[in-house]
Amino acid sequence: MAMDFGRSAKKEPQIPTSSMGDIVFLLLIFFMVTTVFRKETGLPVELPRAEAGEEAQRELVSNIYIDRVGRISVDDRLVQPKHIRDLFKQKAAENPLLIVAFKTDTYTPYGVVSDVMEGLKEANAVRVLFQSDIEINPGTKY
C-alpha cells in the first residue's frame, strides 16, 4: 500500500489538452454568432460626396439624420426641429467634446438643416460634422 502511494506521488498529473482547440473554437463561434453590433436605424439618406472629408472619433459623435422630405431623426426617434435645442443641451452637458454629425440627404432643402443648426447653437453644441461619402470621381460636382 505504502509503495502505491509513493508511486502515484512521483507521477506527474496529466491534464488532457486535446480538446482545448475544440473548446476555443466553440467559444469563438458562440461569440461570433451572438454578437450584435448596435446600429442606429436612422433614416435612409444619400450622403453628399466630398474630397476634403476629415475623420472624427466615433465615440464623440452623435448623429442627426435628415431625409429628403425633411424628417429629422435623433437616437432612433423622429424629432421636431424645435426640440433639437433641449435634446442637445443635455448631450452637450454630458460630453463637452461632442461632435454632431449631420447625416443629411443631398436633396434636403437647406432650410431644415439651418433650423437644426440654430437649435444647436442655442444648445452650445457647436462642433458639427457634415458627413460625406468619399468622392469617387473628382470634378463631377453636384
- With beta carbons less than 8 A apart as the criterion, state whether 73 and 133 touch: no
C-alpha cell at 120: 444647436
Contact code string over 62-101 relative to other proteins, x by CB under 8 A? ----x--------------------------------x-x
What minimum distance in Å lies between the beta carbon of 6 and other proteins?
A: 31
Helix, strand or coil, per DSSP, at residue 65: strand
Contact code string over 19-58 relative to other proteins, x by CB under 8 A? -xxx-xx--x-------------------x-xxxxxxxxx
Number of residues that bind other proteins (CB under 8 A): 53
Separation of alpha carbons 36 and 128, rounded Å: 28
What minimum distance in Å lies between the beta carbon of 3 and other proteins?
A: 33
Q: How much is the CA Rg of the chain, to the nearest whole Å?
A: 27
Q: What residues form DSSP beta bridges with 99?
A: 61
What minimum distance in Å lies between the beta carbon of 13 and other proteins?
A: 18
